[in-house]
Structure 1
């Protein structure tokens, strides 16, 4: 079946696809827990029967049970709501894969840990699970609300301008980080408590990256500016001239990767600041991960909102809605 036909058949396959994926991922985790870390499941240790693999087997086994229950009880509202936490669980397992494109910037860094192909494949499969479960959860939500499961019951009017402030919020969230890293590249040491140069470690930064840093250009600050442009492209009229699908793919990948990453760094900074933990980012004042890196999380959330609005604004009504056929309402009277 071609991708076009597959999308046309959605959401009829969503629940079954989520069930099959959950069974495969849970079975792999169970096998890794019984025989030793394999297939990229090892997270915390290498001993046979380690907790991460066993925990993954239990959690994704429960997800498979949920998918089966959704197939048997299509009108259950509470079961439908439980699908979204599974999406978050899949994104947690596949989070490193969302950041894997950073390895393409290897010419700007050195001494990076080698990529584990098995782990990367496992994480990419987990991201696929997040997509499948997201499709199932979205289709279920539309069915519960009595909307068209194909297009959400959108009107037949042509797409209008994207009206959201999420792009500006995303730009604002990245300003502290960009200003701080640029200040470090220009020779200032605000927020830096160690010795030497902040923001450029010769052990990990390539010669080209150090050359740019010597001239006041921090590579990560440049990437932040590119992230700002992405958020604006999703929400401003000039972004309509750019290819839609690549923008949506970059938007969802950035939101899924940076929102939890920023939250982790911000939480680490808060715990270090309050003295709850004795460790934190080395040679940095506690407010640095809170104010600067915490902006990653705000940016990720705003970018997700901008991407969602852009996706909805460019979606045309399906043939069922254009011909006036009522949407499916199989779940309006469903129980829990």
Structure 2
């Protein structure tokens, strides 16, 4: 089903949103062109607006020009998707743009951790320009996700709104939810063991798993009683993954589960991959980020688990959405 751009004028917000397959590709094209132009302008004029393909880990004119080139290429891809409907490779390339946007918005996805005062203190000052820029990148990821889905579904000849029937959605949701929950078990066990006084995987001085220079007073008190706050959060994450396997239908509970599932997947999948790469560089002796007191398997358990959890949570959330949504009225 295609809707002419002019016919979107005068639509109410609900009808306009329901017609997303018809405008997602155009929106991704406009967004990519504007974001690339902003990065080029920042590189040419000098202000640091936070344009960086790697989520703020690299700054300066080189990172800004790289962003301009990458997102300019994304705009060209969006134009090609309009000109070459039905081809396979643009649909796959669209997922690469989604990953690029999420990487650029890495800091925004994790910025909510700053409000968890009970976890840490002495946080570095917030760069609000970069934070807002990263939020725009996350919005671009959402637009590109919609554009990629609509393009691939049209190419397969199925409904662009729902993707067609998914009879196995329930089974996929259960399997992916169980994998996501299991991925965090080693991390929760390791951090709880450290809080209880064990030192497996730690060869430094003092107690592993807690730096008093940054931990809050509440986190220190909990740790003294064998409770690691991040292990508690891991258990909460397991509960979310398992909740996606349950047959809850429409309503506030479903909306909350979908919001938490997509947010967790978008934040932790790239987070785990990024830190896994850092861990590999540390093992190779190319960088030093202060992990010399920990055995190599600690990095694999902690950060590898985050990555597996993020990917499995995204799959569980998608299958949960397909299983619990109402029948599509447009098929």
Q: Return the TM-score normalized by structure 1.
A: 0.87
> For structure 1, which segment, 234-243 or 139-148, has the greater mean C-alpha deviation from structure 2 after superposition?
234-243
Give the direction of change, closer, same or farther, for the CA distance of 1:209–1:257 in structure 2 (3 Å limit). Answer: same
Q: 1:71 aligns with which of 82, 100, 119?
A: 82
**Which residue of structure 1 aligns with residue 33 of structure 2?**
23
Contact 1:90–1:129 (CA under 8 A) maintained in structure 2: yes
Pick from 198, 203, 212 the counterpart of residue 208 of structure 2: 198
| Residues 153, 317 of structure 1: 8 Å contact kept | no
2:85 paired with 1:85: no
Q: CA deviation at 1:267?
A: 3.3
Which has the higher mean CA deviation after the structures are superposed, 185-194 or 219-228?
Answer: 185-194
Q: In the TM superposition, what is the alpha-carbon distance from 1:276 to its structure 2 partner?
A: 4.6
- Which of 95, 103, 106 is the aligned partner of 2:106? 95
- Deviation, structure 1 residue 120: 1.0
Shift of 1:6: 2.3
Counterpart in the other structure of 1:312: 322
Aligned counterpart, 2:69: 58
Match in the other structure for 1:255: 265
Q: For 1:72 and 1:175, how far apart are their aligned partners in 2? A: 47
Alignment of 1:1-336 (within 5 A): 2-41=12-51, 43=56, 50-154=61-165, 163-237=173-247, 243-273=253-283, 275-277=284-286, 279-280=288-289, 281-321=291-331
Q: Once the 2 structures are TM-superposed, how far is the Cα of residue 232 of structure 1 from its aligned partner?
A: 0.5
Partner deviation per Cα, 1:130-161 (whole Å, 9 max, x = no partner): 00000000001110000011222238x9x978
SS in 1 for 2:117: helix
What CA distance in whole angstroms lies between the structure 2 residues aligned with 1:143 and 1:65? 20
Specify the SS of the correspondent of 1:192: coil
Aligned length: 316
Find the aligned partners of 1:141 and 1:176 in 2 and give their Cα distance: 37
Q: Quote the RMSD (CA, aligned, Å).
A: 2.3
In the alignment, the residues of structure 2 paired with residue 226 and residue 2 of structure 1 have an alpha-carbon distance, to the nearest angstrom, of 38
Q: Give the Cα separation in 1 of the matches to 2:276 and 2:91.
A: 32
Distance 1:142 1:114, change over 3 A: same
- Report if aligned partners of 2:102, 2:270 keep a CA contact under 8 Å in 1: no
Structure 2 distance, partners of 1:198, 1:223, is 18
Q: Mark the runs of 5 or more structure 1 residues left unpaired by the alignment.
A: 322-336
CA-CA distance at 1:67 after TM superposition: 1.0
Change in CA separation of 1:97 and 1:255 when aligned onto 2, cut-off 3 Å: same
Conservation of the 8 A alpha-carbon contact between 1:269 and 1:288: no
Cα distance in 1 between the residues matched to 2:59 and 2:271: 25
CA distance in structure 1 between the partners assigned to 2:221 and 2:299 by the alignment: 25
Does the CA contact (< 8 Å) of 2:192 and 2:226 recur in 1? yes
The two structures have a TM-score, normalised by structure 2, of 0.88
Secondary structure at the counterpart of residue 198 of structure 2: coil
The whole-number CA distance in structure 2 between the counterparts of 1:6 and 1:293 is 40
How much does 1:240 deviate? 7.7
Give the Cα separation in 1 of the matches to 2:124 and 2:49. 19
In 2, Cα distance between the equivalents of 1:106 and 1:219?
11
How far, CA to CA, are the matches of 1:183 and 1:64 in structure 2? 49
Check 1:80–1:301 CA distance in 2 against 1; reply closer, same or farther (3 A cut): closer
